[in-house]
Amino acid sequence: MKTYHLKTFGCQMNKHDSERIAGMLDMHGWQATTEPHEADAIIFMTCCVREKAEERLQGQVASLKALNRPLIAVGGCIGQRDGEKLRAQLPHVDVVFGTHNVARLPLLLERARETARAQVEVLDDTVEDFAADLPATPEHAFHAWLPITVGCDNHCTYCIVPTVRGREKSRPFERIIEQAENLVADGVCEITLLGQNVNSYGRDRYGAPRFAELLTAVAATGISRLGFATSHPKDLSDETIQAMASSSALLDYLHLPVQSGSTRILTAMNRRYTKDEYLALVARIREAMPTIALTTDIIVGFPGETDADFADTLNVVRTAQFAGAFTFLYSPREGTPAAAMDGQVPADLAQERFDLLVEEVQRSARAFSETLVGTRASVLIEGASKRDAGILVGKDRHYRTVHVPVPPQSTANVWEGREVEVDVDAASTWYVSGKIVTR
């Protein structure tokens, strides 16, 4: 039997695409292996959103030279962006594919093997296929990624994603509902709807239902836990807030990337909202859902960012009381408008601000964790902790990580995928701890 090892970098969309790749390869008689040195093919699903993500790929592909010469395939966003060029940089790569033709990977691998010649195939976004329609081998039986849109029509000036994922396209409403119903029938407990900007769902389909209606319809399938990512603040409608607040399936959690707290920088980023508009939106969300956990993405060191701009960012973190934030140093991406802007911020200054921001975010995250102490949480158990086999790790309905000891006289695997009640008794910055309530 031919074996493959799949390595995934980047965002949830890549994680999803990897589950479809696994599904197809499994169907074509391949078998997954966690050991790269045993694999007949190693597939990299890549990300180019920041430079760091790219460096990791170069290093890993290079280290595989030492292996027993498996087929090496590079797909995802670097595959899409670089195509043929990638072969020049990494000559021992056998297959290059992009974001619009994941369905073709089994065929490209076969051809590379039979002909012993490299296969490079990158298509543009006029392809009408959605990877979400392919068979999937999910990472966890209890969770499913469900893409509702692909691509992005926004033009955030720092961002490479629209270049590598193409124009925004919404999947048909009925197809999404049908898939959600099938997932529920298969015993899936949690669905995450996916899109670069889920809030603009349906905008490209004349007369089609919009995101709020889709959310309500997916919630009505009987799914226990429903989440989505990602939301662009400029498109988060009051209808969506109401749909979230009125459905018990929706997680009490929202990821709402702010990127910067300075209106001047937000304008330069082409985000199309101001600091005050973002904070007013947060206030409306909290009014409808008082206990909601809000998380965000923040970029530090965007061109032209001054101390005053950065102070605004710290101020937004304090005011919005985020439960967590992904913080990034600005990374110029070739071909994006921001990469050519004046006033690139020196690395040491950006790092200084970054460290201050991380401290502020940690304070805010811990404060959120502390609000959970003494409460009873509903937790979906994901499995045993990688560091300590005696600890189960799961997520509560705020999407906060929860640690509990494996109950006596049981093993970790019997709890995987189960929803349990937990009495929370301690807070850490990024997780809370407690005990499973036994009746």
Distance CA 196, CA 309 (A): 26
Distance CA 181, CA 417 (A): 18
Partner whose binding site includes residue 136, from ligand SF4, ligand F3S, ligand SAH, none (CB under 5 to 8 Å by kind): none
Of the pair 13, 299, the CB lying nearest ligand F3S is at 13
Sheet holding 253-255: strands in order across?
Answer: 253-255, 293-300, 324-329
Question: Binder to ligand SF4 among 70, 75, 76, 162 (CB under 6 A)?
Answer: 162
Question: Binder to ligand SF4 among 152, 236, 338, 372 (CB under 6 A)?
Answer: 152
Within 10 A of 178 (CB to CB), how many other CB atoms are there?
12
415, 392 contact by CB (below 8 A): yes
Q: Mapping DSSP to helix (H, G, I), strand (E, B) and coil, where does residue 379 land?
A: strand
Binding track over 162-201 against ligand SAH, x by CB under 6 A? ----------------------------------xx----
Partner whose binding site includes residue 86, from ligand SF4, ligand SAH, ligand F3S, none (CB under 5 to 8 Å by kind): none
Of the pair 195, 227, the CB lying nearest ligand SF4 is at 195
Residue 14 in contact with ligand F3S, rule: CB under 6 A? yes
Of the pair 129, 153, the CB lying nearest ligand SAH is at 153
Measured between alpha carbons, how far is residue 206 from residues 210, 217, 369 in Å?
10, 19, 43
Q: What is the number of alpha carbons within 13 Å of residue 79 lying toward its C-beta?
A: 29
Stretch that binds ligand F3S, among 156-164, 302-310, 336-344, 348-356 (CB under 6 A): 156-164
Of the pair 4, 328, the CB lying nearest ligand SAH is at 328
Measured between alpha carbons, how far is residue 225 from residues 177, 188, 379, 380 in Å?
15, 9, 10, 9
Task: State both tokens at 126.
Answer: 């006029």
Partner whose binding site includes residue 162, from ligand F3S, ligand SF4, ligand SAH, none (CB under 5 to 8 Å by kind): ligand SF4
Residue 76 in contact with ligand SF4, rule: CB under 6 A? no
Residues 162-191 that bind ligand F3S (CB under 6 A): 164-165
Angle separating helix axes 105-115 and 12-27, nearest 10 degrees = 60
Within 10 A of 297 (CB to CB), how many other CB atoms are there?
14
Q: How many positions of this chain bind ligand F3S (CB under 6 A)?
A: 13
Of the pair 52, 376, the CB lying nearest ligand F3S is at 52
Residues that bind ligand F3S (CB under 6 A): 10-11, 13-14, 47-49, 76-77, 160-161, 164-165
